[in-house]
Amino acid sequence: MFTGLSAAMAQGPVELRIAAVGDIMLGGTGTPEFQRFGYDYPFEKTRGLLKQAQLVFGNLEGPMTHADHAPVEKKYVYRSPPEKVAPALRNAGFNVVSLANNHTMDQGVEGLRHTLEALDLVGIKYAGAGMDLAAARRPAILQAGNTRVAFLAYTLTFPEEFWATPDKPGSPFGHEAHVRADIAAARQQADIVIVSFHWGAEGKIELRDYQKQLGRAAIDAGAAAVIGHHPHVLQSVERYKHGVILYSLGNFAFGTYGPEAFRSAIVFLTFRDKKLAELRLHPLNVRNAEVVFQPSPLEGAAADKVVAELQALSKPLGTRFENRNGVAVLTLGATQEAHR
C-alpha cells in the first residue's frame, strides 16, 4: 500500500486538459437557422471533442439580450436570445468565456447586464467585461480537480467607447502594465493563468508587431498560454519560453458568411502536474456556406492541409508541429527550446 509521496509517484502525473475555441456569435445572418434547428445545433458535431476536456473556453461575441438600442453607430451590431444561447453554451461543455471584444457592448449597458445575468444563471464563468474597470480586469477562476485556473481577457479593438473605465462598464483595454499586474495577482490565486486577447487584423494571417510584443509579455509575466481572437482566421502559434501563444483560433460557431472564415481549430492544452506539456489543434471546417453554422471536424487530406498551413505559419516563430492523423501536435520540452 502506497502513502504520501510514494502513492503520488505510483499514480503518475496529475493531468488537466483545457479546450479552447475561436469566436462564438449565435446571431446575425445565422439567426433563422438557429431558430429553425435550435441553439444546440451549432455544437452537435464538436460536442464530443469538447467533452474530452475538463475546462472549455471560448470568445463570446455579442450580448445575450433582447435589448435593441445600440449606443454607438457601427457597421455590425449583434445580439442573441439569452434564454436560448446560455443553456446551449452550457450543454456544449463551456465553463468559461471571454467577453473582451468589439461586440459585447453592442446593446449598451443593458445588453451587458443581461449577458452577465444569463451566464451566472447557467454557471458559466466569464472574464473581460464588467460594470467598471476593476470588475472587467478581474479573473475568472475555476477549480479542476486539485488545480485552480485563472482566465484573464482583454481587448485591443475599437470602438473606444466599449472600453471600461473606473466608472464606466465595458471591456478592459490590454495595456501591458495592466496585463502584467493582473497576471501577477492571478498567480497568487491560481496554479495556472490563461490570457485571452482580442487583437490583430480581421481576415489577415499576418501578425501585427504589438501582438508578438504583448503575447510574449504575458508569458514573461507568468501566463502559461495566450489565446487570441478577432482576425476570424487561423494565425500562427508560437512556443515561447515555458508557454505558448495562439495568435488567433479563427471563428468557431459564428452567425455570418464571412468569406475569409473557412478554417479553424479546437485547441487542447494538456497540463501535467500543473505545467503545460502538450498542445493539440484539431482542424475544423467553419465555412458556413458548406457547414451551415455548424463547425465540423476535418479528417484525411482536408485536415492534413490545415496542419500543413499551421506548420508553415508557425515555423518562422520556431514552432514545429507534428502531424498525427490530421491533428497538429506540439510537445513542450527542451528540444523545442534548442530550435529557437
Give the whole-angstrom CA distance, residue 195 versus residue 244. Answer: 11
Give the whole-angstrom CA distance, residue 106 versus residue 109. Answer: 9
pLDDT at 47 over 70: yes
Q: What is the mean pLDDT of the chain?
A: 94
Q: DSSP label at 331?
A: E
Please report which helix (H) or strand (E) contains residue 290, including its range: helix 288-291
179 closest CA partner among 124, 249, 226, 243: 226
The band of 2, judged by pLDDT with boundaries at 50, 70 and 90, is: very low
Find out whether 115 and 82 touch, Cβ atoms under 8 Å.
yes
* Domain that includes residue 241, residue range: 13-339
Share of the chain above pLDDT 70, in %: 94
User: Residue 6 falls within a domain, yes or no?
Assistant: no
CATH, residue 38? 3.60.21.10
- Which residue stretches of 65-173 are H helix? 82-92, 108-122, 133-137
pLDDT at 8 over 60: no
pLDDT, one tens digit per residue, over 217-235 is 999 999 999 999 999 999 9
| 15-25/251-254 β-pairing | parallel
Q: Which burial class, exposed, middle or buried, applies to 290 when counting CB atoms under 10 A from its CB (0-12, 13-18, 19+)?
A: exposed
What's residue 12's pLDDT? Answer: 61
The alpha carbon dihedral of 80, 81, 82, 83 has a sign of negative
Q: Phi/psi of residue 17, each to 5°?
A: -120, 125
User: Residue 8 falls within a domain, yes or no?
Assistant: no
Residue 32, preceding bond cis, omega within 30 degrees? Answer: no
Give the whole-angstrom CA distance, residue 50 versus residue 92. Answer: 7
What's this model's pTM, rounded to 2 decimal places? 0.93
302 closest CA partner among 265, 272, 269, 339: 265
Give the whole-angstrom CA distance, residue 28 versus residue 321. Answer: 35
- Over residues 32-50, the mean pLDDT reads 98
- Over residues 116-134, the mean pLDDT reads 99
pLDDT, one tens digit per residue, over 203-216 is 999 999 999 999 99
Transcribe 145-214 into DSSP letters. Answer: TTEEEEEEEEE--S-GGGB-BTTB-BB-B--HHHHHHHHHHHHTT-SEEEEEEE-S-TT--SPPHHHHHH
User: Residue 4 falls within a domain, yes or no?
Assistant: no
pLDDT at 154 over 50: yes
The number of distinct structural domains making up the chain is 1
